[in-house]
Amino acid sequence: MDSLVPAASRIIAAILDPVAGIAGDAGPLAGMALLSAPAGVLMAEAFRRASPRNLGSLLRSALSRMAGMVLHVEDPVTVVKLAFSSLWRTLVLLAALVPPILLASLPFSAAYGQIRARYGLASPRDHAVVTIDSDSAVEVAGDGVVPPVVRGVSPCTVSFRIEGAGRGALTVDGIPIDTGSGEPGMPLVSRFTTARTPSALLDPSIRIVDGSANRFDGRIGLVQASYEIAGIRAGWLAWFVILSSVEATAWLALASAIRKARRLRPCSPAP
């Protein structure tokens, strides 16, 4: 797992790097839309391929009981019975949705992790205020530091972002931190052990400090960036979820139209 995670992260980073370059110049919303597009397409395909064939029937099964509750609303006994039946059917539906959800969450989470690792809680081209409090001095050196410099995930989990190798050095408690390859988006590997869970693969920025790193105790606060679209203000994560979902839906519709267009070609007799 230790070698697998960085490898997977590098692959994901390599896919997103070109997009991130363009996204960085495109502005917050357009950049976010661009970055979430690969995730949306992959999510859609993963969901489509992993969905059980009887998903519609399961959904209708749950909904038909809800229809029954409306129809029998003046009969509390029937309504309660149908309510339990409806909840059970919903649970059955959710159980059927687990595999496609898990599979679709892979591309989503990979993209999410990459974006978060690159930009923290802010969107492309935006800056966030980073405050670091520590029992010891925390030294951040180098120019061209990309915000946020340091991001905290939990009290014992940190990750770092700097721009470009050789352009600066980062020291925590006087200990120089290896910044890995130094390329944008690459995870930190040297000071931190990797959680042996699938979540580490999904979010490359998460690293849990091991026992030897107890000396570091930093508290980090970030100001979450939020954006207003069509009068609705929401954090970038919400927009990422919305945009990737919209793009996933658009992809499904497009793919369906393409498949249909291919099928409607005049049938040629078999040789």
Q: Which of residues 105-144 bind other proteins (CB under 8 A)?
A: 105, 108-109, 112-113, 116
**For residue 167, what is the DSSP state?**
S
Residue 156 interacts with other proteins (CB under 8 A)? no
In total, the chain counts a number of residues equal to 271
Residues 201-230 that bind other proteins (CB under 8 A): 202-203, 206, 208
Stretch near other proteins under the rule CB under 8 A, chosen from 25-33, 79-87, 128-136, 161-169: 79-87
Least distance (Å) from other proteins to the CB of residue 164? Answer: 26
3-state SS class at 242: helix
The three-state DSSP-derived secondary structure of 144-192 is CCCCCCEEEEECCEEEECCCCCCCCCEEECCEECCCCCCCCCCCCCCCC
* Cα separation, 68 vs 81, whole angstroms: 10
Residue 241 interacts with other proteins (CB under 8 A)? yes
> How many positions of this chain bind other proteins (CB under 8 A)?
75
Least distance (Å) from other proteins to the CB of residue 198? Answer: 7
Stretch near other proteins under the rule CB under 8 A, chosen from 3-11, 93-101, 136-144, 178-186: 93-101
Residue 61 interacts with other proteins (CB under 8 A)? yes
Stretch near other proteins under the rule CB under 8 A, chosen from 9-17, 73-81, 175-183, 226-234: 73-81
Give the nearer residue to other proteins in terms of CB position, either 96 or 132: 96
* Cα separation, 149 vs 161, whole angstroms: 5
Among positions 95, 232, 253, 254, the unique one binding other proteins when judged by CB under 8 A = 95
Residue 33 interacts with other proteins (CB under 8 A)? no
Beta bridge partners of 230: none
Residues 176-205 that bind other proteins (CB under 8 A): 195, 197-200, 202-203
Residue 42 interacts with other proteins (CB under 8 A)? no
261-246-229 Cα angle (round to 5): 140
Residue 250 interacts with other proteins (CB under 8 A)? no
Least distance (Å) from other proteins to the CB of residue 220? Answer: 17
Are the C-beta atoms of 189 and 6 separated by less than 8 Å? yes
Least distance (Å) from other proteins to the CB of residue 9? Answer: 13
Q: Which residues fall within 8 angstroms of residue 74, CB to CB, at 6 or more apart?
A: none
Give the nearer residue to other proteins in terms of CB position, either 105 or 181: 105
Q: Which contiguous run of DSSP H or E holds residue 15?
A: helix 4-26
Return the closest-CA partner of residue 225 out of 145, 157, 149, 125. 125
**For residue 1, what is the DSSP state?**
-
Residue 98 interacts with other proteins (CB under 8 A)? yes
Q: Which residues fall within 8 angstroms of residue 157, CB to CB, at 6 or more apart?
A: 206, 207, 208, 209
